[in-house]
Amino acid sequence: MMKTLRGWWDAFTGAGEHAVTVPPMDGPLLPNTLLEGAERLAAIDKPDSLCVHGGRLLASSGTQVLAFDAGGGAPRSVGHHAHAVTALASDGQSLAVALADGTIEWIDAAGVPTRLALPSEAGAHSIMALLVEGDRLLVANGSAQIVASDWKRDLMQKGSTGSLWQFQRGGEVRRLAKDLAFPYGLARLADGRLACSESWRHRIVEIGEGGRARPLLADLPAYPSRLSPASGGGFWLAAFAPRTQMVEFMLREDAARRHMIETIDPDYWMAPRHASGRSFREPLQGGGIKHLGILKPWAPSQSYGLVARLDAAMQPLASYHSRADGTIHGVTSCVEFGGRIHAASKGAECLVACEPDQVGEAA
């Protein structure tokens, strides 16, 4: 009773659950232009997932997997698949490649592929992250309702049907957790706990016994995507879009949101996106009006590029940014390779690299 009343009151005044406040980017997440100024290694068509395997950096690009050598040089295609590649992972020995049809190709150290498929309880196929650990393969299925390329719909429908699965070499499959709001990245903490970035809830959680999620890092100012281990302990976290008041407001306006989802092309929604300014049909926010030909870096933006360095307990230490006036947006994956941090930008469709010690000095 009181809860219902409180709900109505909050809806009327815009407080509590209905508040649209967004945490500021501050402290270790203070904006800079390090990601925007990073070296652009190569233009890649539809880049998404990155991993290091066999001394090379692998990047997924649509249905292909591209390989980059440590010494530089043009990327080479090392795999062509029937469906788009949605995630890559390697433990140094074996490589796992998830495809948009929900299958996973697990290639062992000898190069022998095994084909795995998500069980039907997983629902639709949107494998966003993989984690290979010897004979064990962990799989994050973003949503049971949409396919990976339709992520925006899941976000705007406030989807929370994601799940985590564990495959054992030999065939055993087990569900570790369910009802996650788009698990987008996986990582193993030093003490053996499993962590996952829950993108629509802007947090990183640990998955405990019985699939219980406990937050390790909550209230992020951006939508987190994939996690990868950092040398010297800790992790790298990529985030592809900022949280904005307007989107938070949209998420609380059920009628308008439903109408938008039903009648408007997702590219033109008031929603997070991988790149901004590609079409004038995208809605503009007041602070984003160009004055004297200039877009302010602090303008409200629906896309962003953020790579954050987290410590072993998943707390942020430093960050690399590409702000509203930049283009390296929609960063969905970052890995450390050859002493540098590499990030895949869906917004700029390229691979960038910067020195990890830059932020150390800045911070």
Binding site for another protein (CB under 8 A): 14, 20, 244-246, 249, 253, 255-256, 259-260, 263-265, 268-270, 277, 280-293, 295, 299-300
CB of 264 to another protein, least distance (A): 5
The CA-atom distances, in angstroms, between 229 and each of 33, 113, 146, 284 are: 23, 25, 28, 37
CB of 316 to another protein, least distance (A): 24
Nearer to another protein, 29 or 324 (CB): 324
CB of 268 to another protein, least distance (A): 5
CB of 243 to another protein, least distance (A): 11
How many angstroms separate the CA atoms of 347 and 305, rounded? Answer: 9
Nearer to another protein, 170 or 286 (CB): 286
Name the β-bridge partners of 342. 335, 353
Nearer to another protein, 215 or 287 (CB): 287
Nearer to another protein, 185 or 242 (CB): 242
CB of 238 to another protein, least distance (A): 24
The CA-atom distances, in angstroms, between 118 and each of 127, 131, 163 are: 9, 15, 11
Classified as helix, coil or strand, 214 is strand
For residue 360, give the nearest of 234, 240, 242, 212 by alpha carbon. Answer: 234
CB of 289 to another protein, least distance (A): 6
Question: Which DSSP symbol is given to 119?
Answer: -
CB of 210 to another protein, least distance (A): 38
For residue 128, give the nearest of 107, 102, 95, 167 by alpha carbon. Answer: 102
CB of 14 to another protein, least distance (A): 4
Classified as helix, coil or strand, 295 is coil
Nearer to another protein, 248 or 311 (CB): 248
Q: Tokens standing for 345? A: 């930008």
- Kindly give, in sequence order, each residue whose CB lies less than 8 Å from that of residue 119, ignoring residues fewer than 6 positions away: 165, 173
How many angstroms separate the CA atoms of 237 and 310, rounded? Answer: 7
How many angstroms separate the CA atoms of 359 and 363, rounded? Answer: 6
For residue 329, give the nearest of 267, 245, 238, 202 by alpha carbon. Answer: 238
CB of 20 to another protein, least distance (A): 5
Nearer to another protein, 11 or 109 (CB): 11
- Block residue for tokens 């193993």: 188
Q: Tokens standing for 337? A: 């390779």
CB of 258 to another protein, least distance (A): 11
Give buried/exposed letters for 74-100 (b at 16+ CB in 10 A, else e).
Answer: ebeeebebeebbbbbbbbeebbbbbbb
Nearer to another protein, 79 or 283 (CB): 283
Nearer to another protein, 22 or 306 (CB): 22
Nearer to another protein, 30 or 289 (CB): 289
Taken as a whole, the chain contains a residue count of 363
For residue 341, give the nearest of 104, 100, 35, 61 by alpha carbon. Answer: 35
What are the phi and psi torsion angles at 312 (to 5°)? -65, -20
Nearer to another protein, 188 or 252 (CB): 252
What are the phi and psi torsion angles at 320 (to 5°)? -120, 135
